[in-house]
Structure 1
Amino acid sequence: MRVFLIELHFSSISPTLPLTSHLRTSRTAFGNHSMIASRDIQHLAPLLVAPLLVALAATSTALGGGTLGPTWYSIAALSPAASGGAMLLLSDGTVMCKVQTGPAGGEGNGWVRLRPNAQGSYIAGTWSTLASMGQTRYYFSSQVLKDGRVYVAGGEYGTGLANAEVYNPLTNAWTPTPAPGGNVSDANSEMLPDGRVLQALVAGTLRTNVIYNPVTNLYSPGPSCLGIHNESAWVKLRDSSILMVDRHAFTSERYRPTTNTWTADANVPVALYDDFGFETGGAVLLPDGRAIHLGATGNTAYYTPPLSGNVGSWVAGPSLPAGQGTPDAPLAMMHNGKILCATAPIPVSGAVFSTPTSFYELDTNTNSFTQVGAPTGGFTVNEVSYAWTFLCLPDGGVMCARLGSTRYWIYYTGGGLGPLAAGKPTISSVTREASGAYRLLGTQFNGISQGASYGDDWQMNTNYPIVRLTSALNANVHYCRTFDWSSTGVQTGSARVSTLMTVPSSVPYGVYSLFVTANGIASDARPFLYARPNCAADIDFDGLVGGGDLALLLAGWLTNGGPAGLGDLDGSGLIDGGDLALMLGSWGVCPP
Structure 2
Amino acid sequence: MSQLAMILAAAVALLTTRVSDAGTWRNVVTNAPGSVQLMILLSDGTVMCSDGGNGAWYKLTPDSTGNYTNGSWTTLSSMNYTRRYFSSAVLRDGRVFVAGAEYGTGTTNAEIYNPLSNTWTPVPVPPGLITTNNNPVATNKFQNTAGFSDSSSIILPDGRVLIAPVNPAAGVSTVTYNPYANSWTSNTVLGNQNEATWVKLPDDSILTIDKSSTATERFIPSLNQWIPDSNTPANVYGVGAELGPALLLPNGKVFFLGGNTNTLIYTPSGTTNQGSWVAGPPIPNGQACPDAPAAMLVNGKVIFACNPLGIPGTTFPTNVSFYEYDPVANSYTRQNSPTGGLTETNIAAYQTAMLCLPDGTVLYSDETSQVYIYDPNDSPLTAGAPVINSITWDPGGSLHLTGKRLNGISQGASYGDDEQMDSNYPLVRFGDGNGGLYYGRTYNWSDTGVMTGEKVVTTEVMPPWSRLLTPGPYPFSVVVNGIASFPAALNAPTWVDYNYSGPFEFGSYVFPYNSLAEGQDDVPTGGTIAMKPGVSPEALTLTRAMTIVSVGGDVTIGR
SS at 2:285's partner residue?
A: coil
Give 1:109's match in structure 2, choosing from 48, 55, 65.
Answer: 55
Distance 1:87 1:164 in 2: 18
Give 1:131's match in structure 2, choosing from 77, 84, 97.
Answer: 77
Distance 1:307 1:371 in 2: 33
Distance 1:162 1:544 in 2: 51
Structure 2 partner of 1:291: 254
Q: Within the alignment, does 1:58 sit opposite 2:11 as a pair?
A: yes
Structure 1 partner of 2:136: none
Structure 2 partner of 1:273: 237
8 Å contact from structure 1 (residues 66, 413) kept in 2: no
Distance 1:292 1:542 in 2: 50
Deviation of 1:381 (Å) = 1.3
**Normalized against structure 1, the TM-score is what?**
0.80
Distance 2:295 2:447 in 1: 21
Structure 2 partner of 1:313: 276
Q: How far does the alpha carbon of each residue in 1:307-347 deviate from its partner, in whole angstroms, 9 at most, with x for none?
A: 55520100011111100110111000111100000011112
Q: Within the alignment, does 1:262 sit opposite 2:262 as a pair?
A: no
Give 1:95's match in structure 2, choosing from 30, 47, 53.
Answer: 47
Structure 1 partner of 2:444: 484
Distance 1:240 1:79 in 2: 36
Distance 1:331 1:527 in 2: 35
Cα 1:582–1:534 shift into 2, 3 Å? farther
Most deviating of 340-349 and 151-160: 340-349
Give 2:525's match in structure 1, choosing from 551, 565, 569.
Answer: 569
Distance 1:88 1:179 in 2: 23
Distance 2:48 2:22 in 1: 24
Distance 2:167 2:270 in 1: 35
8 Å contact from structure 1 (residues 207, 226) kept in 2: no
Q: How far does the alpha carbon of each residue in 1:175-213 deviate from its partner, in whole angstroms, 9 at most, with x for none?
A: 000126311100100100010101111115797111101
**Normalized against structure 2, the TM-score is what?**
0.85
- Corresponding letter in the other structure for 2:117: T
Distance 1:178 1:68 in 2: 49
Alignment of 1:149-188 (within 5 A): 149-179=95-125, 181-182=129-130, 183-188=147-152
Q: How far does the alpha carbon of each residue in 1:409-455 deviate from its partner, in whole angstroms, 9 at most, with x for none?
A: 010003xx411111100001111111001000000111010000001
Give 2:418's match in structure 1, choosing from 442, 457, 475.
Answer: 457
Cα 1:544–1:436 shift into 2, 3 Å? closer
Deviation of 1:471 (Å) = 2.0
8 Å contact from structure 1 (residues 141, 189) kept in 2: yes
Structure 1 partner of 2:358: 394
8 Å contact from structure 2 (residues 32, 371) kept in 1: yes
Cα 1:400–1:468 shift into 2, 3 Å? same
Which blocks of at least 5 consecutive residues in structure 1 are unaligned?
Answer: 1-45, 101-106, 554-565, 573-580
8 Å contact from structure 2 (residues 494, 508) kept in 1: no
Distance 1:393 1:96 in 2: 12
Cα 1:412–1:163 shift into 2, 3 Å? same
- Corresponding letter in the other structure for 1:141: S
Structure 2 partner of 1:29: none
SS at 1:277's partner residue?
A: helix
- Corresponding letter in the other structure for 2:191: G
Q: How far does the alpha carbon of each residue in 1:29-83 deviate from its partner, in whole angstroms, 9 at most, with x for none?
A: xxxxxxxxxxxxxxxxx7xx22332134335562364689621110000001112
Deviation of 1:466 (Å) = 0.6
Structure 2 partner of 1:516: 478
- Corresponding letter in the other structure for 1:281: G
Cα 1:140–1:524 shift into 2, 3 Å? same
Most deviating of 351-360 and 134-143: 351-360
8 Å contact from structure 1 (residues 206, 230) kept in 2: no
Q: How many residues align?
A: 500
**Superposed CA RMSD:** 2.6
Structure 2 partner of 1:35: none
Cα 1:540–1:80 shift into 2, 3 Å? closer
- Corresponding letter in the other structure for 2:105: T
Question: What is the percent sequence identity of the aligned residues?
Answer: 43
8 Å contact from structure 2 (residues 493, 527) kept in 1: no
Deviation of 1:503 (Å) = 1.8
Q: Within the alignment, does 1:71 sit opposite 2:33 as a pair?
A: no
Structure 1 partner of 2:180: 215
8 Å contact from structure 2 (residues 496, 507) kept in 1: no
Structure 2 partner of 1:529: 491
- Corresponding letter in the other structure for 1:477: L
Distance 2:93 2:40 in 1: 15
Structure 2 partner of 1:337: 300
8 Å contact from structure 1 (residues 65, 335) kept in 2: no
Distance 2:286 2:172 in 1: 32
Cα 1:513–1:69 shift into 2, 3 Å? farther
Distance 2:306 2:422 in 1: 20
Most deviating of 510-519 and 335-344: 510-519
Deviation of 1:352 (Å) = 1.1
Give 2:393's match in structure 1, choosing from 432, 444, 449.
Answer: 432
Distance 1:113 1:256 in 2: 35
Structure 1 partner of 2:286: 323
Which blocks of at least 5 consecutive residues in structure 2 are unaligned?
Answer: 131-146, 498-504, 529-542, 549-555
Deviation of 1:543 (Å) = 3.6
8 Å contact from structure 1 (residues 178, 219) kept in 2: no
- Corresponding letter in the other structure for 1:122: Y
Cα 1:69–1:370 shift into 2, 3 Å? closer
Deviation of 1:571 (Å) = 6.0
